Amino acid sequence: MSNPTTPFNWQMPTNTDLVTNLPADFEVFGQAVASSMADLLGGTSGQILAKATNADMDFTWITNDIGDITAVTAGTGLSGGGTSGAVTLSIDSTVATLTGSQTLTNKTLTNPVVTQTINAQTGTTYTLVLTDAGKLVQMNNAGAITLTLPPSVFSVGQSIDVYQYGAGQVTFAQGAGVTIRSTGASATAPKLRVQYSAASVICIASNEFLVVGDIA
């Protein structure tokens, strides 16, 4: 049978075919249709047809992973986003990170746990350093101890806690150009009162510190 074909390569009967030829013609036609439509069989509820290759009539059933989301926009604290394909969102490190220091403004902390680092000192002299900010400085010596507050190191609002662990009494001393404010017997050179006494050193202005606590 040399009958014309459709764009899908189905051989078609013609109006000149003999009646005796029609059953065979339709059998060939039906087989061609069944063959080209084979990929339409199968699938499960919710699946959709997708092109398997660039060949005509080559389809496969896939799970419908296309929803009604047309874009993902990265808001505050996020970077990334997109309008098509696989979209990735990342934490914007300029706003927040999973580790490292963070500045929180107008935030409410629920049951925060603050762990204070201890800087244990065993000498009879020690000068505070920038990394002492926010720490507890432990002074532990049997003899008298001088703790110096240095100039041009700390910023306004930074504080350091100090306590006397040993028997040696701790005296706060002014570094060059530094002013200490306190209610101690010597306002500019207060002492921790007794063993296990503690006080806070707070930078209240450039090179100016307030010492408050169990002082003498």
- pLDDT tens per residue across span 174-195: 999 999 999 999 999 999 999 9
Residue 16 has pLDDT above 70, yes or no: no
Confidence bin at 119 (pLDDT 50/70/90): very high
Average pLDDT for the chain: 85
**Residue 59 confidence (pLDDT):** 80
Q: What tokens were used for 189?
A: 């050179």
Name residue 213's beta-bridge partners.
199
Q: What tokens were used for 51?
A: 């092109």
Spatial neighbors of 75 by CB under 8 A, at least 6 apart, are none
Please, what is the end-to-end C-alpha distance for the chain in angstroms? 118
**Residue 110 confidence (pLDDT):** 84
**Residue 6 confidence (pLDDT):** 62
Polymer length in residues for the chain:
216
Query: How far from chain centre, in Å, is Cα 138?
Result: 34
Confidence bin at 169 (pLDDT 50/70/90): very high
**Residue 4 confidence (pLDDT):** 58
Report the alpha-carbon distance of residue 181 to residue 211 in Å, rounded: 6
188 phi/psi in degrees, rounded to 5: -100, 0
In this structure, the number of other CB atoms found within 10 A of the CB of residue 63 comes to 11
**Residue 123 confidence (pLDDT):** 98
| Listed residue (147, 149, 145) closest to 169, CA to CA | 145
**Residue 46 confidence (pLDDT):** 76
Report the alpha-carbon distance of residue 3 to residue 10 in Å, rounded: 10
Residue 166 has pLDDT above 60, yes or no: yes
Name residue 127's beta-bridge partners.
148
Report the alpha-carbon distance of residue 121 to residue 117 in Å, rounded: 13
Question: What is the mean pLDDT of the segment spanning 155-184?
Answer: 98
Confidence bin at 26 (pLDDT 50/70/90): low
Name residue 179's beta-bridge partners.
208
Q: What percent of the chain has pLDDT over 90?
A: 47
Q: How far is CA 168 from CA 64, 149, 194, in A?
A: 76, 18, 9
- pLDDT tens per residue across span 48-100: 888 888 887 788 888 876 666 778 888 877 888 888 778 888 877 666 655 66
In this structure, the number of other CB atoms found within 10 A of the CB of residue 149 comes to 22
CATH domain 118-213 topology? Jelly Rolls (2.60.120)
Q: How many helices (DSSP H) and strands (DSSP E) are in the chain?
A: 1, 14
Name residue 62's beta-bridge partners.
48
**Residue 77 confidence (pLDDT):** 77
Report the alpha-carbon distance of residue 189 to residue 208 in Å, rounded: 13
- ∠ CA(30), CA(7), CA(10), 5° rounding? 20
Which of 15-19, 31-35, 39-43, 162-166 has the highest mean predicted lDDT (pLDDT)?
162-166
**Residue 183 confidence (pLDDT):** 97
- Which H helix or E strand runs over 35? helix 22-36
Residue 133 vs residue 21, higher pLDDT: 133
- What are the residue boundaries of the structural domains of the chain, listed by start? 1-66, 68-104, 118-213
